């Protein structure tokens, strides 16, 4: 499918799951996984409340039916049905009447962004609260208000989903996106939708590696998966966490804790040749679930891919992160970057030039003619020369691309042509 088509496809799935109120547990996660499961055969896991997962414990399950603040006339001045961010995520149930001055202690706003609703959570501290635009709060007259949060917080389970595409090897490439955020389009409906479409595209293909797609609540979900899958984790050779992949910024990549893993080199190479304002940063133990996969007891080669980095754009964790903030063309660009990373991981190899003493006569083999007559001709010729010179059994194709300053795709294409003509063979050992 062309780039415009895949971008529209991903955006449609973003729009489908955007309205759902998700949290680290509950029916919002289940409904989201159900919708993703229309496109790929997801395996859904339920882990009971109270289960110990390393130093953490699965919390009680939270579900919300309704919430509002009403004035004396019964008019809803805040309504959860208008936007899922209006309620502090994981709020305990409450039904009270109180003066506005007292109610303000339970209302969160953004005075510096007065027209936006903030996203707030209370996962591990029982409290209740509402979020609203600061200008809307300032417009409320004094008086008695009714505040109601119709929710439950009780024993249940934590839910996560995964899909495994088996490859020729049981060594795995892990993709992960957090499924806990409510109506935030870029963070992280975009990541969920992109990985779902990617998994659907990979499903019928034969691949070198196996590909695991994990859709789990942030932090506690990744910790839970790792606690239940230590043997599987030992097979992970490459990994990417995705978030904020639908906006116009970046792209950006945060290296794994290892710093020089194959995925780190592949992503750095791709971003070096990417348009826009690409950035590559070193690992820090803060961010998304890459910090769990990169904890010292696992130290997996898992990096973080985003467009704009989390916390760096004004819409982050606000109602400004809506469907107008993400665009199909940016989703398609992110998709193209991820598929290019897969191409590198799948196709990187060490080859050996069978005629290493001086250059082989390419013209006699028709290789110059095969690539002549186009603007890309000189670049492809150089790709062949670089590949022949460094295909010594010690340098991989990615090594050669980095040394040549050329995109991996050009070096891989040159290598394929040279193999067909018997000038390169796989390196032994």
Question: How far, in whole angstroms, is CA 223 from its chain's centroid?
Answer: 17
Nearest Cα to Cα of residue 188 among 301, 316, 83, 379: 316
Contact by Cβ (8 Å): 408, 262: no
State the DSSP H helix or E strand holding residue 76, giving kind and residue range, or none if neither: strand 76-79
Q: Measured between alpha carbons, how far is 334 from 93 in angstroms, rounded to an integer?
A: 40
- 181 labeled binding residue: yes
Nearest to 79 by CA among 90, 68, 93: 68
**Please, which residues bridge with residue 85 across strands?**
none
Q: Which of 208, 216, 242 is nearest to 335 (CA)?
A: 242
In angstroms, the CA 262 to CA 28 distance is 36
> Sign of dihedral through CA atoms 220, 323, 161, 168?
negative
Rounded Cα gap, residues 160 and 364, in angstroms: 58
- The number of C-alpha atoms within 13 Å of 370 and in the hemisphere containing its C-beta is 15
Q: Rounded to the nearest 10 degrees, how much is the dihedral formed by the CA atoms of 131, 136, 141, 145?
A: -30
Structure tokens at 222: 């990744």
Q: How far apart are CA 103 and CA 96, in angstroms?
A: 10
Dihedral-angle region of residue 239 (phi above 0 means left; psi in -120 to 50 means alpha; beta otherwise) = beta
Among all chains, which residue has been given the structure tokens 């304002």?
277
What gap in Å lies between CA 220 and CA 54, rounded to an integer? 10
Q: Which residues are annotated as a binding site for Zn(2+)?
A: 181, 187, 317
Q: Please report, in range form, the residues annotated as the binding site.
A: 181, 187, 317
């Amino acid at each position: 499918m062309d780039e415009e088509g895949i971008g529209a496809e991903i955006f449609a799935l973003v729009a489908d799951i955007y309205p759902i109120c998700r949290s680290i547990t509950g029916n919002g996660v289940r409904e989201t996984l159900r919708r993703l499961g229309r496109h790929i055969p997801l395996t859904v896991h339920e882990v009971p409340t109270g289960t110990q997962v390393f130093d953490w414990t699965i919390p009680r399950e939270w579900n919300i039916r309704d919430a509002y603040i009403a004035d004396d006339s019964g008019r809803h001045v805040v309504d959860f049905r208008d936007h899922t961010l209006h309620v502090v995520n994981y709020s305990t149930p409450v039904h009270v009447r109180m003066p506005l001055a007292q109610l303000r202690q339970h209302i969160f706003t953004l005075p510096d962004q007065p027209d936006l609703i903030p996203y707030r959570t209370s996962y591990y501290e029982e409290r209740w609260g509402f979020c609203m635009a600061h200008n809307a709060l300032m417009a409320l007259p004094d008086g008695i208000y009714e505040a109601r949060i119709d929710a439950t917080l009780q024993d249940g389970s934590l839910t996560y989903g995964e899909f495994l595409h088996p490859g020729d090897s049981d060594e795995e490439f892990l993709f992960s996106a957090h499924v806990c955020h409510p109506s935030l389009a870029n963070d992280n409906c975009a990541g969920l939708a992109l990985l779902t479409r990617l998994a659907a595209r990979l499903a019928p293909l034969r691949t070198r590696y196996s590909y695991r797609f994990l859709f789990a609540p942030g932090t506690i979900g990744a910790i839970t998966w790792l606690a239940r899958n230590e043997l599987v984790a030992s097979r992970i050779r490459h990994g990417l966490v995705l978030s904020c992949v639908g906006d116009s910024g970046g792209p950006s990549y945060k290296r794994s804790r290892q710093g020089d893993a194959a995925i780190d080199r592949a992503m750095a190479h791709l971003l070096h040749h990417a348009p826009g304002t690409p950035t590559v940063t070193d690992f820090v133990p803060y961010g998304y679930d890459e910090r769990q996969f990169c904890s010292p007891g696992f130290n997996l080669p898992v990096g973080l891919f985003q467009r704009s980095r989390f916390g760096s754009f004004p819409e982050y964790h606000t109602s400004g992160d809506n469907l107008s903030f993400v665009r199909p063309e940016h989703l398609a660009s992110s998709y193209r970057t991820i598929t290019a990373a897969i191409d590198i991981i799948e196709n990187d190899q060490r080859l050996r030039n069978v005629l290493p003493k001086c250059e082989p006569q390419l013209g006699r083999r028709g290789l110059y003619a095969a690539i002549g007559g186009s603007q890309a001709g000189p670049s492809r010729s150089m790709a062949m020369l670089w590949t022949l010179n460094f295909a010594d059994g010690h340098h991989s194709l990615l090594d050669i691309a980095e040394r040549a300053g050329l995109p991996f795709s050009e070096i891989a294409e040159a290598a394929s042509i040279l193999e067909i003509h018997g000038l390169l063979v796989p390196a032994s050992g």
